[in-house]
Amino acid sequence: EIVLTQSPATLSLSPGERATLSCRASQSVSSYLAWYQQKPGQAPRLLIYDASDRATGIPARFSGSGSGTDFTLTISSLEPEDFAVYYCQQRTNWPWTFGQGTKVEIK
Amino acid sequence: QVQLVESGGGVVQPGRSLRLSCAASGFTFSNYGMHWVRQAPGKGLEWVALISYDGSNKYYTDSVRGRFTISRDNSKNTLYLQMNSLRAEDTAVYYCAKDTAPYCSSTSCYGVLDYWGQGTLVTVSS
């Protein structure tokens, strides 16, 4: 099973600041990595798939990069609605796995 | 618009069974693979099961294989998860989710989940 390790566990930032979230895989997942956002009491929402493709309706301030084992989700300028938990997920090997999440909180 | 509505959750004793349903609308259900993903209270996300668009292929995570069965009725636009021999560690919110890939029959093309239901809580406790 591929293990995804996200860092940091918590990111404390102010609105307008840049957020950089990391996801590292225990073995190569090629570019088959997605990012999801989850707010309290809500279902996850797809942000990025295949490492860098934005899902439909996702604002351009969200971008993804990386390949192999190291990936990054960047939020260029945090909006109030962006404070949430973010999960990475691989679909290279079954069972697909998620990272443990990074919480982006208001500083 | 795409809607996925889960139902069937509740409190159940260890060793008993429960069946979850997910009613789909707003897209051609029979064209897409469907998933169940769960989230234990205060924890992260865990894949549970996947079924191909036509129901011919099913995949399970190890911890539920042999106890859970995923199925679908394309005539009713409904996804199911039959959960038997429930354990305390199965306690979670269960989400159904739609895959982006149409007409796929293997894990090689599935795995991007673009729509999710609101989830249904399953609590296994005596």
Q: Which of B99, B120, B93 is nearest to B38 (CA)?
A: B93
Contact A94 B113 (CB under 8 A): no
Burial of A2 (0-12, 13-18, 19+ CB in 10 A): middle
Structure confidence at residue B28 (pLDDT): 97
Asked whether residue A94 carries a pLDDT value surpassing 90, the answer given is no
| Full 3-state SS string of B57-77 | CEEECCCCECCEEEEEECCCC
Question: Can you tell me which residue has the tokens 């295949």?
Answer: A50
Query: Are A60 and A69 contacting, i.e. CB atoms less than 8 angstroms apart?
Result: no
* B110: confidence class by pLDDT, cuts 50, 70, 90: confident
Give the mean pLDDT of A57-61: 97
Interface residues from chain A to B (CB-CB < 8 Å): 32, 34, 36, 38, 42-46, 49-50, 55-56, 87, 89, 91, 94-101
Q: Considering chain B, what is the average pLDDT of its residues?
A: 95
- B-interface mutation test, from A2, A47, A88, A91, most B Cβ less than 10 A away: A91
Query: How many cross-chain Cβ pairs, A to B, lie less than 8 Å apart?
Result: 52
Q: Touching check for B116 and chain A: CB below 8 Å? A: yes
Contact B119 A43 (CB under 8 A): yes
Higher pLDDT, residue A92 or B108: A92
For residue B99, pLDDT beyond 80 = yes
% of residues, chain B, pLDDT over 70:
100
B27 has a chain A CB within 8 A of its CB: no
pLDDT in tens, B34-84: 999 999 999 999 999 999 999 999 999 999 999 999 999 999 999 999 999
pLDDT range class, residue A98, cuts 50, 70, 90: very high
Sequence length of chain A is 107
A81 pLDDT exceeds 90? Answer: yes
